[in-house]
Amino acid sequence: MIHSTLKGKGMISSPYNQDFTEHKKFLINTFNKFGGRRSSLEVNCLQIISETLNGYRNEIDQNFECVSTQIKNSLSLMTSENVFNMTFGIGMHDKKRFKPLADLITENFNSTGVAAAFNFIPLTRVFKTFIFKNVLKCSDYLNNLISEKMKSFNEDIEDIDFQIKHVTDESNIIECYLKELMNNDKFLCSFPLSNINTSSSLFNIQSKRLTEKRRSSITQNPNEKLKSNYKSFSFDHLSSIVQDLFLAGTETMSLTLNWAIIYAAYYPELQKEISDEIDRVLGSEKLPTESDRAKLPYVEAFINETLRYHCAGPILIPRSTTRDVIFREYHLPENTFIMVNMWSCMRDPTYWEDADKFEPKRFIDSDGNFKCKNPAMMPFSVGKRACIGESIARLQIFLIFTSLMQKFHFSLASKKDAMNKKLLLGIPGIGLNPPKISLKLKLR
């Protein structure tokens, strides 16, 4: 399903080859630029959180109730907005562009449980256009937004220093990518314009314009030296990379946050420990920052227990072996289809005491400090194909969850729900969705 939409490009669906390793290196570098301490990501995230909290305050009274799916949609908006700003830049952000995209992403994830049949039941592939309607619509919307960025880049291209060096003026991931792409001599010499696989005509037009303009510039300045560390960059990869960022960086975080809020409501004694720790360290007004994480060990433990107990991706994206291997006495031939069961790792009683119990204090040591050294704790996977945005995801989850717990108290609206632990099993989909239960919100 994923390969059919991303066509083996970007990070998620790319084979493990030079293309993958170069794009991984690029994204790590750009994440470090935009996702470090007191970075634009943290500042923008706190601004979005503040606006959301103010919106909640205006709606909440002592009897305010909302369904968990409403909270999830609000969380999706926050996480999507952070990814949007980091990918496209603040200048591209307005409600007319962003809100429809956030709605498409949510709708997309809600329907992918059905679309997953595409992976295993060949007959369903006859209905590809219908099954992928939402996916393709979201893809086209993103490509049109990328084309807007490419158009503004095209208009300013004469003012850009194409000799790649340690520049600091980029404000988003797309600008960084385009600068590298335009300085790739291999791309300019051999990239065929007809090779672009996206369905968005606007994206194709801007890709061709940029390529033609850059080739013309090289013709006029034959002595100009191009330099880029990335030889595999292409407009196809750019489209898939942006889709990767929204696929991996939005709903997975909102699912985790929603589960954390539900567990706080189900276990009021645990929520009180969270609130007391936040009150001691932050008080009632100061919003949390990245530097506060070490001062809030129980909050960190609660988030990690949520990640363990209900990992956003119980079954990882399918992979395949690149050569014949022996794994636990089983022979797996090259190109064997592999499904990794992350759920089993983080519920394995060999590694976890009372594995089926929600217990945040398993991540607190005898000195009261946060610890996370269990080898079976791998919510973002492990190895060379682990999620490279883990640090950014963890930061956003911490900032959003801590801010919500600081300002609000969550409780179950129905006593019947409180007695029904089966609700906590969740609803299967591309991720494990929280149950549709009603929650009460009260200002603290």
85 and 189 co-located in one domain = yes
123 and 263 co-located in one domain = no
202 and 291 co-located in one domain = no
114 and 194 co-located in one domain = yes
231 and 345 co-located in one domain = no
150 and 25 co-located in one domain = yes
242 and 288 co-located in one domain = no
Q: What's residue 306's pLDDT? A: 96
- For residue 373, the enclosing domain spans 252-443
Sequence-distant contacts of 89-97: CB under 8 A, at least 24 apart: 89/149, 89/171, 89/172, 89/174, 89/175, 90/44, 90/171, 91/171, 92/145, 92/148, 92/149, 92/172, 97/145
Alpha helices in 250-348 (DSSP H): 251-266, 268-281, 297-309, 342-346
Its pTM stands at 0.88
Contact 427, 434 (CB under 8 A): yes
200 and 226 co-located in one domain = yes
127 and 105 co-located in one domain = yes
230 and 299 co-located in one domain = no
Q: Which of 215, 248, 281 marks a domain boundary?
A: 248
Domain count, the chain: 2
> What confidence tens digit (pLDDT) does each residue in 106-132 have?
777 766 566 667 777 888 777 777 767
89 and 164 co-located in one domain = yes
> What confidence tens digit (pLDDT) does each residue in 282-331 have?
998 888 998 899 999 999 999 999 999 988 778 887 788 989 999 999 99
163 and 286 co-located in one domain = no
CATH number for position 273 = 1.10.630.10
Q: What is the mean pLDDT of each run of 10 residues along the chain (444 residues)?
A: 76 87 91 66 81 77 70 83 85 75 77 66 78 80 88 69 48 86 69 55 80 71 69 87 86 89 94 96 90 95 95 82 92 91 93 95 94 91 87 91 92 84 77 83 85
Q: Which of 221, 248, 275 marks a domain boundary?
A: 248
Tokens of 76: 């999706």
Q: Which of 232, 248, 264 marks a domain boundary?
A: 248
Angle at 240 between CA 235 and CA 243, to 5 degrees: 130
Q: Residue 322: what are its φ and ψ, rounded to 5°?
A: -95, -10
Q: Which amino acid is at 10?
A: G
Q: What's residue 7's pLDDT? A: 77
